[in-house]
Structure 1
Amino acid sequence: MKRIHPSLILLVTAVLAYGILIPQLGFYWDDLPMSWIRYELGAEAMTQYFSNNRPAWGWLYQMTTLIFPQVPIYWQVFALLWRWFGAVVVWAIIRELWKDKSDFALSLSLLFLLYPGFNQQWVAYLYSHFFIVLFFFLLSIYLMLRRRTVVALIFSALNLWMMEYFFVLELARVGFIWTFLRDSYPDPKERLRSTFKLWTPYLALFALAVLFRLFIFNNQVYGFSLVSQLKTDPFTTLLSLLQSILASLWTVTFAAWSQVFTGLDPSTHGIRTVALYVAVILTVFAIMVVYFFKSSREEKTNRYAWYAIGLGLFLLPFAGVPFWATGLNISLAHPASRFTLPFMLGVSLILAGLLALIPRERWRYALLAVLIGLASGRQFLWSTDYLRDWQSQKNLFWQMTWRAPGLKPGTLVLMNEELSFYADNSISAPLNWIYAPDNRSDKIDYVLFYPTNRINSSLPALKPDIPIRYDYLAGTFEGNTSQTLAFYYDPPACLRLLDPVLDVENRFLSADSLMRDAAALSNADRILAAQKAVIPAIYGPEPGHGWCYYFEKAELARQLGDWETVTRLGDEAFALSDYPNNPLERFVFIEGYAHAGRWERAVELSKVSYRVSKEVVGPLLCRLWERIETETAGGVERNEALGQIHNLFACAPQ
């Protein structure tokens, strides 16, 4: 194994941790709106999007999107490669700082590669560009240590001008210089002079970048609230800042790495996922054991470990400044775990240094192998979470197009926040892509809001006749709350267009979601049944027609008053091996059979639904049968059926 270059060890580990599910993964979070803007609205729209939001970074997107199409697998591989490139450069940096510590360099770069504080690797279109910028910063450090000053300054400038995440980290460069010169200049005074001399051009470049951001391009993504708060209430602000710093440092170090010991749930992940998880851990563990135990040798001193710990501690404050200054909360949850990215190198230096302090070599490498194996497995488990969410999002839009083949422009879509890795802004993009594929203007036809996120802001209230104007990335949406469709999505149950008659009192809808209030606004007349939505190629071929297909099509037929189609679909649906996952999914067929005069079947399905939850379903069935009674003509069978329903469910007589 000693003949294998460390970069290959890093590549194999990266593929095992991040790449096993790549062919099945898709686009997530900001991937969807940003790729939709570039590929569907065009390069000009992308330029407009970045015009007030990291314009230099936008140039990077313009270049990469000329190379790769809007196909998830290309971007997944692209992001994985840049994650690997960054780890390789970290290895090279450590080799420059400690030329005789090759095993230490590999162990540190592995910890960097698998850092579990960041768990969004598969938001690939977006984060591949984060990792490119991080690579620029790391490469500038390496080139500086190799005395390639001009090229190092170029890559440093690319980091400074593209985005703010690694901006202040540039000041930590002086720590690398100080460490690098430790042997050449043992005397602290001489080393200080030499350090400042080597740092001067980079410090000047940093100062120029600060001036540029202050006086030329001062439209930052996040506002700096700390200064104004210090003026208003300095004591409280400083205390709050200290608490935030300490909490952040705990989060990016101990809390982040503690995640490798958690996460596996056989009931959620299934046998196949558990087997792959164990296989990833054991394979990576075996690679680590074979490589390190065969290549290691006894060390006479661990002084380098203390230097690494010191350098890591020095880096941490610089990594956190952009977030502490803007009041952003550093956490391990999606999507805020992206704020841990600048901390990766500092934390890895500290952890690798602590491991290097373990006196017995075998124990040291055994613990390292365990950590690397578990971290690989944890990252793999996160990839399965992303796979499930991508499949869930694909099912969402297939079911939506079955239920609503077309939408009138200006429709506001309200939905509960069910998807884990998609904001409402995220899925507004495919909503427009599907229902308005030919719209290239700056007038956005549709937006999707999660009421919990938008109430009292973009969505003033869940009341009718309220104008909605929303600036959506590359254009503006104009609508009205009276032009709303309200959907509820709770897989494995089918997507449901909420019924203003039934769902305002539906306790199956989470009260916290605000969707009972939204149901009152739901207006099925916004649906254009004669149109045919176009599902983009990234969503794959149409899935097989199971229960949800028949349910959605029956709901559309009910809306059109086509009861013959409803009953035909019902007969086909109930003949499947598939079945409803929500008792309300039978309601459309109850109503259809009633309108078709098949009263016994309607009563039978009502009884089945009622048994699921008498307290919740009973009142809803009463409302449904009230509508049936109003809309159907009298008759003996009808009257008998209504009498049974009133007696069974204690419905109040009309």
Structure 2
Amino acid sequence: MLKRFTSLPYAVPLTLFAVTILAYGLSFWRLGFYWDDQPISWIRYQLGPEATARYFSDSRPVWAWLYQLTGFVLPLRPAWWQLFAMFWRWAGVYAFWLVIARLFPGRREAAFLLSLLVLLYPGFNQQWVSYVYSHFFIVLFFLLFSWHLMLRGRTIPAMIFSALNLLMFEYFFLLEFARPVIIFMSLRDEPMTNRERTVKTFRSWLPYIEVIVLAILYRSLIYSHPGFGYSLTEEVARAPIETLAQLAGHILSSLWIAAVAAWGQIFQFPTPGVNGLRTSVLYAAVVLTVGVFVLLFKNKQNETAASNAKHDALWLIGLGAFMLLLGGVPYWVTNLPVSLGFPANRALLSFMFGACFLLLGLIELLPVRVKYFVAVLFVSLSAGRQFLWSVDYARDWSSQKNLFWQLYWRAPGIEPGTIVLMNEELSFNADNSISAPLNWIYAPENRTRNVDYVVLYPTNRIGASLPALEPGIPIRYDFLAASFEGNTSDALAFYYNPPACLRLLEPDLDSKNRLIPDDSLMREASALSNADRILPQPRAVMPDIYGPEPEHGWCYYFQKADLARQFGNWEEVASLGDKAFNLDDYPNDPLERFVFIEGYAHTGDWERAIELSRVSYRVSREYVGPLLCRLWERVEAETAESQGRDALGQSERSEALAEIHDMISCPPP
């Protein structure tokens, strides 16, 4: 029965759709917004369609129309956008299958395998950046559907879709030059000489050349892109040998990454100890299920078919090599990086088709008995690898939600014009990414071109947008649709290292906190942290994308206690501590106890303050000891007057201070 299913006309699109869900969508409701999703969606939904047009005005103005249209159709709900992105990924691959099935008649299973490889290509792992890449995949669909319409003789519609691809943005621009090769391949079985076939190919391609010329004129005359600050011709003129050697290295490196190293990632397997038992079991289920789906499409090959397969393999390899070159040219002439890392692996979308053609061509050269199973191995493991990445994205979204809910608890309001300095903890976001939700939360009514807040990662911005970690430096950051202006004297510094809580850094403590890694630069940033920028009056409004407020665990009480400490409400700090330490939860950073140590000391519960100090000290005497000394110096100074009037209180205070000094061996102040 299942074998009979594969012969039905809708079997391929349904199977492609099922594989799409297995690889990318098993937990779509747990996924959110990442990287450029954040600022572009904030600009579209908060600042409005006009701001979207401004954002794309000097680089991709036609693409802005697409964002404006989709913004009217879909609400700002991550789950909707995840489904939308998966739909267009599937639609593009289905259009691609229609093209390949036409180019290789009688090789339905090969066309199916190639489509699956394109669907699951592991060089690109950003499917879940759904707001942005849904628009990428719509444009890719335009290109692939244009090829399909062309092969069916629908020239005018094909030209329109070709123009949409060429005018919207540049990622798939040069892939348009694969069109004549596709036309030539479609004529292989027609009775004509190669010269006649070439002439017919050129005549068929001619209307699309006109579209390309018009697109180039539009891009060069109608608007001007600011460029990337690199000119290959100028570099060759300045240092020809060095530049050409660098170019050759860049070409070879990017081809290796796209065609070889990308596939190597599928052999990174999960382990229950690292990834968890549930994830490991689901990974195995995805791999096996996809493998079964693909095996259902296996047909027995006779000798003629095997001979054709060898001949087709050469075409696949040749087309793959050509498309790899087309995909690489934009990055080679601009010296832009091509890597497997995030977010640079978006460049591999341009190489994706070439890498998949090349791989399947090489597989087709293998013996008949093994080649299909090798193809199944690549397809099923690629599906598994994409599934593992989806788990990583889901965890990162959970971390992002926790970050902003904790910030919301710690800072009911923040003075406009504040710079937020933070370490790079979120894997799939940049600092300008999370600047968007920061403004959405703390300035929900601001729809002007003046942005109230900005997040800066010192590790990324030092020496550029952030000249130095010193007070009094004016800062300007351009979001294209709007801009921020502030000063480093008006900054907050936060450190986030989950499962530990988000923590507002204190200059007197954290400048010497060796639990903060050196390379984060957050110890230096702590000197700029000005808690007075936080307002007690509630101004923040959490956007719906972050869902309902989480259950109040340890970090909630820590944040609220730290807020109460900031405004000297020590009774509230102690009360929150009583609740926090009765939870089935616990601190994951010894400094999370410090606020309660202060609270209990200020309210006269010296025994509890000493007990918490002892527990924190045991975590790391070398690292925590000096910080406890600084904390207790502060406690000693701040409690001198408040508890010095009561003889009993003064005695308990003196005994507590003496015990702390003996325990930690603090140097004399």
TM-score normalised per structure 1: 0.98
Q: Tell me how far apart the structure 2 counterparts of residues 145 and 359 of structure 1 sit (CA, whole Å).
A: 32
Q: Does 1:201 align with 2:207?
A: yes
Q: Does 1:316 align with 2:350?
A: no
Cα distance, 1:472 vs. partner?
2.0
Q: Does 1:508 align with 2:515?
A: yes
Q: Does 1:602 align with 2:604?
A: no
Q: Does 1:355 align with 2:363?
A: yes
Cα distance, 1:242 vs. partner?
0.8
Aligned counterpart in structure 2 of residue 101 of structure 1, from 88, 103, 107: 107
Match of 1:161 in 2: 167
Q: Provide Cα deviations, 1:120-172, integer angstroms capped at 9, x if missing partner.
A: 00000100110111111111112222222111111111111100111122122
Q: Provide Cα deviations, 1:192-220, integer angstroms capped at 9, x if missing partner.
A: 22222222222232122222222222215
Check 1:158–1:312 CA distance in 2 against 1; reply closer, same or farther (3 A cut).
Answer: same
Cα distance, 1:40 vs. partner?
1.2
Q: Does 1:114 align with 2:129?
A: no
Match of 2:129 in 1: 123
Which residue identity lines up with residue 381 of structure 1 in the other structure? L
Cα distance, 1:71 vs. partner?
0.5
Which residue identity lines up with residue 40 of structure 1 in the other structure? Q
Aligned residue for 2:455, secondary structure, equals strand
Cα distance, 1:358 vs. partner?
2.1
Aligned residue for 1:502, secondary structure, equals helix
Match of 1:334 in 2: 342
Aligned counterpart in structure 2 of residue 408 of structure 1, from 405, 410, 415: 415
Q: Tell me how far apart the structure 2 counterparts of residues 355 and 512 of structure 1 sit (CA, whole Å).
A: 45
Aligned residue for 2:507, secondary structure, equals coil
Match of 1:290 in 2: 296
Q: Provide Cα deviations, 1:361-419, integer angstroms capped at 9, x if missing partner.
A: x4222222222111111100000000000000000000001111100000000000000
Which residue identity lines up with residue 339 of structure 1 in the other structure? A
Check 1:222–1:169 CA distance in 2 against 1; reply closer, same or farther (3 A cut).
Answer: farther
CA contact (8 A) 1:166 1:342 kept: yes
Match of 1:558 in 2: 565
Q: Tell me how far apart the structure 2 counterparts of residues 179 and 378 of structure 1 sit (CA, whole Å).
A: 33
Q: Provide Cα deviations, 1:582-610, integer angstroms capped at 9, x if missing partner.
A: 00000000111111111111111111100
Aligned residue for 1:292, secondary structure, equals coil
What does 1:57-206 align with in structure 2 at a 5 Å threshold? 57-184=63-190, 186-206=192-212
Q: Provide Cα deviations, 1:477-527, integer angstroms capped at 9, x if missing partner.
A: 111111000000000000000001100000011111110010000000000
Q: Does 1:379 align with 2:407?
A: no
Check 1:598–1:520 CA distance in 2 against 1; reply closer, same or farther (3 A cut).
Answer: same
Q: Tell me how far apart the structure 2 counterparts of residues 591 and 225 of structure 1 sit (CA, whole Å).
A: 59
Match of 2:658 in 1: 643
Q: Does 1:43 align with 2:58?
A: no
CA contact (8 A) 2:109 2:297 kept: no
Aligned counterpart in structure 2 of residue 584 of structure 1, from 576, 582, 591: 591
Check 1:522–1:300 CA distance in 2 against 1; reply closer, same or farther (3 A cut).
Answer: closer
Aligned counterpart in structure 1 of residue 600 of structure 2, from 590, 593, 606: 593
Aligned residue for 1:291, secondary structure, equals coil
Deviates more, 1:180-189 or 1:451-460: 180-189
CA contact (8 A) 2:20 2:86 kept: yes
TM-score normalised per structure 2: 0.95
Q: Tell me how far apart the structure 1 counterparts of residues 94 and 379 of structure 2 sit (CA, whole Å).
A: 16
Q: Provide Cα deviations, 1:567-592, integer angstroms capped at 9, x if missing partner.
A: 00111111111000000000000111
Q: Provide Cα deviations, 1:304-332, integer angstroms capped at 9, x if missing partner.
A: 12111111111111111111111111111
Q: Tell me how far apart the structure 1 counterparts of residues 40 and 637 of structure 2 sit (CA, whole Å).
A: 49
CA contact (8 A) 2:410 2:562 kept: yes
CA contact (8 A) 2:58 2:224 kept: no
* Identical positions, percent: 58
Q: Does 1:225 align with 2:240?
A: no
Match of 1:523 in 2: 530
Aligned residue for 2:351, secondary structure, equals helix
Aligned residue for 2:216, secondary structure, equals helix
Aligned residue for 2:528, secondary structure, equals coil
CA contact (8 A) 1:319 1:342 kept: yes
Cα distance, 1:53 vs. partner?
2.6
Q: Does 1:652 align with 2:667?
A: yes
Check 1:184–1:517 CA distance in 2 against 1; reply closer, same or farther (3 A cut).
Answer: same
Aligned counterpart in structure 1 of residue 632 of structure 2, from 621, 625, 648: 625
Which residue identity lines up with residue 146 of structure 2 in the other structure? S
CA contact (8 A) 1:393 1:419 kept: yes
Q: Does 1:244 align with 2:259?
A: no
Which residue identity lines up with residue 166 of structure 1 in the other structure? F
RMSD of aligned residue pairs (Cα, Å): 1.4
Match of 2:503 in 1: 496
Cα distance, 1:235 vs. partner?
1.4
Which residue identity lines up with residue 197 of structure 1 in the other structure? R
Match of 1:270 in 2: 276
Which residue identity lines up with residue 77 of structure 2 in the other structure? V
CA contact (8 A) 1:444 1:477 kept: yes
Q: Tell me how far apart the structure 1 counterparts of residues 498 and 192 of structure 2 sit (CA, whole Å).
A: 65
Aligned residue for 2:121, secondary structure, equals coil
Cα distance, 1:297 vs. partner?
5.7
Q: Tell me how far apart the structure 2 counterparts of residues 72 and 493 of structure 1 sit (CA, whole Å).
A: 26
Which residue identity lines up with residue 78 of structure 2 in the other structure? P
Aligned counterpart in structure 1 of residue 478 of structure 2, from 460, 464, 471: 471
CA contact (8 A) 2:419 2:491 kept: yes
Which residue identity lines up with residue 383 of structure 1 in the other structure? S
Q: Tell me how far apart the structure 2 counterparts of residues 554 and 220 of structure 1 sit (CA, whole Å).
A: 49
CA contact (8 A) 1:462 1:521 kept: yes
- The 4+ residue runs of structure 1 with deviation greater than 6 A are none
Aligned residue for 1:482, secondary structure, equals coil
Aligned residue for 2:256, secondary structure, equals helix
Q: Does 1:484 align with 2:491?
A: yes
Q: Does 1:52 align with 2:67?
A: no
Cα distance, 1:300 vs. partner?
4.1
Cα distance, 1:225 vs. partner?
2.4
Which residue identity lines up with residue 132 of structure 1 in the other structure? I
Q: Tell me how far apart the structure 2 counterparts of residues 50 and 273 of structure 1 sit (CA, whole Å).
A: 39
Cα distance, 1:263 vs. partner?
4.5
Q: Tell me how far apart the structure 1 counterparts of residues 500 and 53 of structure 2 sit (CA, whole Å).
A: 40
Cα distance, 1:221 vs. partner?
5.6
Cα distance, 1:185 vs. partner?
5.6
Aligned residue for 1:448, secondary structure, equals strand
What does 1:389-400 align with in structure 2 at a 5 Å threshold? 389-400=396-407
Deviates more, 1:309-318 or 1:263-272: 263-272
Q: Tell me how far apart the structure 2 counterparts of residues 438 and 193 of structure 1 sit (CA, whole Å).
A: 62
Aligned counterpart in structure 1 of residue 28 of structure 2, from 14, 22, 29: 22
Structure 1 unaligned segments of length 5 or more: list them: none
Deviates more, 1:642-651 or 1:514-523: 642-651
Which residue identity lines up with residue 595 of structure 2 in the other structure? V
Cα distance, 1:223 vs. partner?
4.7
Q: Tell me how far apart the structure 2 counterparts of residues 649 and 329 of structure 1 sit (CA, whole Å).
A: 51
CA contact (8 A) 1:95 1:105 kept: yes
Which residue identity lines up with residue 273 of structure 1 in the other structure? T
Q: Tell me how far apart the structure 2 counterparts of residues 95 and 153 of structure 1 sit (CA, whole Å).
A: 21
Cα distance, 1:649 vs. partner?
1.1
Number of residue pairs matched by the alignment: 652
CA contact (8 A) 1:306 1:353 kept: yes
Q: Does 1:306 align with 2:349?
A: no
Deviates more, 1:525-534 or 1:261-270: 261-270
Q: Tell me how far apart the structure 1 counterparts of residues 653 and 444 of structure 2 sit (CA, whole Å).
A: 47
Which residue identity lines up with residue 362 of structure 2 in the other structure? L
